[in-house]
Amino acid sequence: MSKAATTRTMILTKSFELIYKQGYQTTSIDNILATTQVTKGAFFYHFKNKDEMGLAMINEVIFPGMYASLVKPLLDAKSPINDIYEMMRNVLLKVPFLRAKYGCPAVNLIEEMSPLNEDFKQALVKLTDQWQAAIKESINQGKATKEIRGDVNAEYVACFVVAGYSGIRNMGKAMGSSCYPIYLQELKNYLKQLG
């Protein structure tokens, strides 16, 4: 990787860490520069403005990271009830970087930036859409193998599960991680009853 590309990547990853913990608007460019040792000239050489950097961060850091945790585990689904539960359990309990106190980077950004920046919103909707589609497809495969009841609406289940995840991430920020296992147990009950 060239030195310039290293600089760009460092800006994006460090910005991601700061924004994850502080929020997008609270994280100033000067704040990013101070923690990266990158100068202002370098920052504005690589990004036209703060929002362009933020969009690049969503597309190049958040999207790939969340895709790997949320969508990929469902693509070679064998048993949707188990696969969806395990995917959720892994995201909530096994991804070391994500802390209950700070929630989920994608959920945070939807919350903070959806009403304020159309480009951010689009990029985050794309992630949500793909996650929902993967859950829906997984459920539909389960219906084909009769693991899931025929009267279950896959799209509704996908929406319900995604909402549950966003919500428990929100709750976790206020109540701490102790609500995660409770949520997971009831998610398991909900999923079981689909079969």
Partner DNA sequence: TTGTGTACATACTAATCAGTATAAAAAATG
Partner DNA sequence: CATTTTTTATACTGATTAGTATGTACACAA
Should residue 102 be labelled a site residue for its own copies when binding is judged by CB under 8 A? yes
Neighbours of 100 (CB within 10 A): 20
Should residue 71 be labelled a site residue for its own copies when binding is judged by CB under 8 A? no
Binding partner of 96, given DNA, its own copies, none, CB within 5-8 angstroms per partner class:
none
Q: What is the Cα–Cα distance from 148 to 131, expressed in whole angstroms?
A: 19
Nearest distance, CB of residue 121 and its own copies, angstroms: 6
Should residue 97 be labelled a site residue for its own copies when binding is judged by CB under 8 A? no
Should residue 7 be labelled a site residue for its own copies when binding is judged by CB under 8 A? no
Helix (H, G, I), strand (E, B) or coil at 47: coil
- Of 108 and 141, nearer to its own copies (C-beta) is 108
CB-based contact 149:195 (threshold 8 Å) = yes
Single out the residue of 84, 87, 134, 168 in contact with its own copies (rule: CB under 8 A).
Answer: 168
The alpha carbon torsion through 57, 61, 62, 65 (nearest 10 deg) reads: 180
Distances (CA, A) of 46 to 12, 36, 40, 42, 50: 10, 14, 10, 6, 11
Stretch that binds its own copies, among 4-12, 37-45, 122-130, 137-145 (CB under 8 A): 122-130
Single out the residue of 68, 94, 101, 145 in contact with its own copies (rule: CB under 8 A).
Answer: 101
Nearest distance, CB of residue 71 and DNA, angstroms: 31
